[in-house]
Amino acid sequence: MLRRIHSWPALIAAVLLAVLAISGAILSINPAIERAGTSVPGDGQVSVAMLAERVAQHYSGVEQIQRSPSGSIVVYYSQADRTGADRIDPFSGQSIGPYAPSTFTRWVKNLHRSFLADTPGRVVAGLLALTMLVLCLSGMTLLVKRVGGWRQLLRPLRGNFSQRWHAELGRVVVFGLLLSALTGLYMSAATFGLISDGTQNEPDFPIPGTTGPVAPIGTLRALQATDLNDLRELVYPSPDSPEDFYSLRTAQGDGYVDQASGALLSWQAHDRVHGVYSLIYKLHTGEGLWWLGLLLGLSALSVPMMGATGITVWWQRRRAMRRIAGNSGPRSADTIILVGSESNSTWGFANALHDALRQAGQRVHTASMNQLATEYRQAQHLFILTSTYADGDAPSSANQFLARLDKFSGNNKPSFAVLGFGDRQFAKFCQFARDTQDALLARGWNRSMDLDTIDRQSTQEFARWGQAVGQLFDRDLALEYTHKSPQTQPLELISRMDYGVKVQAPTSILRFGPIAPQSRIARFWRLLGFNGLPRFEAGDLVGVVPPGSPVPRFYSLASGSKDGFLELCVRKHSEGLCSGMLHGLQPGERIDAFIQSNPSFRPASGKSPVILIGAGAGIGPLAGFIRNNTGKYPMYLYWGGRDPASDFLYEPELGEYLADHRLTELHTVFSRVKEGGYVQTRVLAHASEIRGLIEAGGQILVCGSRAMATSIQQALDGILSPIDLDVRTLKLQGRYREDVFG
């Protein structure tokens, strides 16, 4: 529901919001430009009387003096048969130049306030301010839920380009947009009289009468007592009417000044309502707060970008929704599949399971978890495929499931199996899947299979789970599903370095480059410095589709595109289809590959220490991080191999990095040498040093096998316990990141 509240108003009003934001951004520049060309006296330095006296030395026939919120002074005058308006220097009273309001600015202001449509347009602008308020509040709530709470609001974000940019921009500009929306809504309400702006309390006009000879304006007591910075407007009396009065408007109130005595008459102080309106006007326009105006303008410029990325995310989510072919009714189905998904990605896996079971002769009903029926008359099997949202919460299509489960009244409870989808980077990996299983067991449902999990939508793990499902039906069940892969690019193997054969761990460092350009245009771009590689960084993933399989295998990159090559560190597995293919390549041979961004696995920016921990081929991206540490910030590498004579990966490069200080310290350990050990033993041996680095704000990146990563977590929990920290806390802070496999 919250996502709909956020999405639909934005989709409906996207274009008008962009117009409102762009026009507001243009207007936000004016106060800064005006202030830059204005001399502003200090408080108490110049009074209104002093200013008026200086103006009288250069102008006759003065009718009015105005001071804008940004401090510029404008004199309106009439001389002979002409009238004019000049901007003046408050210290001399001399003209700076003619005052000519910009026609373009006036047009943009009218566009911003009413879309050039007068009253109906003002109504639309007010509704758009309300829409922006709803978008800010709902968007911030969604973001907080996504990252797992307010304390995690600054943690790194995951997702594709549009998802990340939409959320990143949102958390940067939300307070500026929220302020603009609230103040704009208030001003719109005041425009239509829904609330008071305090201008109704005008001073009574004094009774005209002759009070004596007109005194020089510089001697009038009321004007002498009024600081120039408080002036809003001074209207001169008619020159032929000695009984007329000066009209004085200030920041504190309005009144009239007697020409002869200089006394302040009929003074009406501004009430609190007027003060509130004036403050809100200043906060909305930036007039009088030029720096705030620029900040709000920058925030407003994000609206078109956020609109574009938001629409893209919505469209991607819509496209990800799958139509379920041959979907049986819930009462007649033999098998039920329920899906919990936040971004609809889980539906593709559910559809693959649905089709496979139908081919196996089952009548299958597939629906969201929120559509759990009150009974299933024929079903023998229930499969629940669900992701986890934010910090262990239910995804949007499953947020009513547990409540509906209490209302299940059928006598037939099919045996169930739960499959969780998530990312092991999060502390509460697949937590909602676990909660779902616990809830079903607590209510007396029978489990046909143990809970299983899929890390980062691994198609290999999904296919393995499908084999276990097939045993329930006494037949092979082939589950093949993968997201549509991006367009691949051919890459040519430039060089290879082979290690580990003698210790039964063949590992190769493979370096690829782009295919030599054939066309003249391609060669021209190459001459300009474009190396022909897609953009990537160390720690990103390269997808390689091996011959004979539609499923890509992903490998962590040990280089960035700026290095001019794509580098992998790959261990050959005995039954590894893709690793075997890669190990069989010779220089000059090619592969087809694509890049998948992995921003969650790379050092955070800044000068804080970075602790890199890995084993075996997991050193690949870690070596890439060190290679690109051109700022020479503190980096410490802990790595484990088998035998330094056989599989000391990146040994020459690491020596160079130590020499030029891209690597601060190197700690290696080898398991097949005398007094050897594993990387976790070396980590434990440096407990005090690691603890000190973490206390100094350090971060940890771990790459390697899942078993190694588990051992590292256990070791670090022990190391950090004396300072009341653990790995889970570091993960929540974005200071512990993993890239694990196997």
CATH number at residue 661: 3.40.50.80
- Asked whether residue 135 falls in the same domain as residue 10, the answer is yes
Written as one string, the DSSP assignment of 150-172 is: GGGTTSPP-S-HHHHHHHHHHHH
For residue 540, what are the domain limits? 489-596
Q: What is the mean pLDDT of residues 707-724?
A: 93
Last residue of one domain, picked from the residues 438, 472, 506: 472
Task: Please state, for a pLDDT cut of 70, what percent of the chain lies above it.
Answer: 92
716 or 515: whose pLDDT is higher?
A: 716
What pLDDT score was predicted for residue 528? 47
Above 90 in pLDDT, residue 657? yes
Give per-residue burial for 317-326: e unless 16+ CB within 10 Å, then b: beeeebebee
Above 90 in pLDDT, residue 669? yes
Above 90 in pLDDT, residue 145? no
428 or 281: whose pLDDT is higher?
A: 281
Model confidence over 202-224: pLDDT tens digits? 888 887 755 678 899 999 999 99
What pLDDT score was predicted for residue 575? 76
Q: What is the mean pLDDT of residues 556-565?
A: 92
**Is 374 a domain residue?**
yes
**Is 186 a domain residue?**
yes
**Is 605 a domain residue?**
no
Task: Map 234-279 to HEC letters.
Answer: EECCCCCCCCCEEEEEECCEEEEEECCCCCEEEEEECCHHHHHHHH
* Whole-angstrom distance, CA of residue 306 vs CA of residue 22: 13
Give CA angle at 612 (681, 608), nearest 5°: 125
Above 50 in pLDDT, residue 705? yes
For residue 14, give both structure tokens.
Answer: 């996207």
- Sheet containing strand 553-556, edge to edge, reads 553-556, 541-544, 590-596, 489-499, 507-514, 566-571
Above 90 in pLDDT, residue 227? yes
**Number of domains, the chain:** 5
What pLDDT score was predicted for residue 202? 81
Average model confidence (pLDDT) across the chain? 88
- Asked whether residue 230 falls in the same domain as residue 248, the answer is yes
Least confident window among 356-365, 402-411, 609-618: 402-411
- Asked whether residue 29 falls in the same domain as residue 60, the answer is no
Above 70 in pLDDT, residue 347? yes
- Asked whether residue 575 falls in the same domain as residue 629, the answer is no
- Asked whether residue 569 falls in the same domain as residue 618, the answer is no
**Is 479 a domain residue?**
no
Above 80 in pLDDT, residue 626? yes
Query: Which ranges of 628-720 does DSSP label H, i.e. alpha helix?
Result: 651-659, 679-685, 687-695, 706-720
- Asked whether residue 639 falls in the same domain as residue 663, the answer is yes
Q: Are strands 610-615 and 699-705 parallel, antiparallel or unpaired?
A: parallel
Model confidence over 677-691: pLDDT tens digits? 999 999 999 999 999
62, 56 in Cβ contact below 8 A?
yes
- Asked whether residue 653 falls in the same domain as residue 672, the answer is yes
- Asked whether residue 400 falls in the same domain as residue 443, the answer is yes
**Is 296 a domain residue?**
yes
Helix axes 103-114, 2-36, angle to 10 degrees: 160
State the burial class of residue 215 (Cβ atoms within 10 Å of its Cβ: 0-12, 13-18, 19+).
middle
Least confident window among 78-87, 118-127, 581-590: 78-87
- Asked whether residue 247 falls in the same domain as residue 265, the answer is yes
Amino acid at 275: G
What pLDDT score was predicted for residue 6? 81
Above 90 in pLDDT, residue 487? no
- Asked whether residue 337 falls in the same domain as residue 411, the answer is yes
CATH number at residue 430: 3.40.50.360
Q: What is the mean pLDDT of residues 609-618?
A: 95
Above 70 in pLDDT, residue 550? no
Q: Closest Cα to residue 459, out of 438, 440, 485?
A: 485
The overall pTM is greater than 0.85: no
Least confident window among 40-54, 137-151, 545-559: 137-151
What pLDDT score was predicted for residue 433? 95
Task: Please state, for a pLDDT cut of 90, what percent of the chain lies above it.
Answer: 54
- Asked whether residue 654 falls in the same domain as residue 733, the answer is yes
Model confidence over 26-62: pLDDT tens digits? 999 999 988 888 888 998 899 999 999 999 999 989 9
**Is 569 a domain residue?**
yes
What pLDDT score was predicted for residue 708? 92
CATH number at residue 547: 2.40.30.10
What pLDDT score was predicted for residue 142? 81
**Is 447 a domain residue?**
yes
- Asked whether residue 250 falls in the same domain as residue 132, the answer is no
**Is 477 a domain residue?**
no
Q: What is the mean pLDDT of residues 529-540?
A: 78
Last residue of one domain, picked from the residues 292, 314, 336: 314
Q: What is the mean pLDDT of residues 658-676?
A: 93
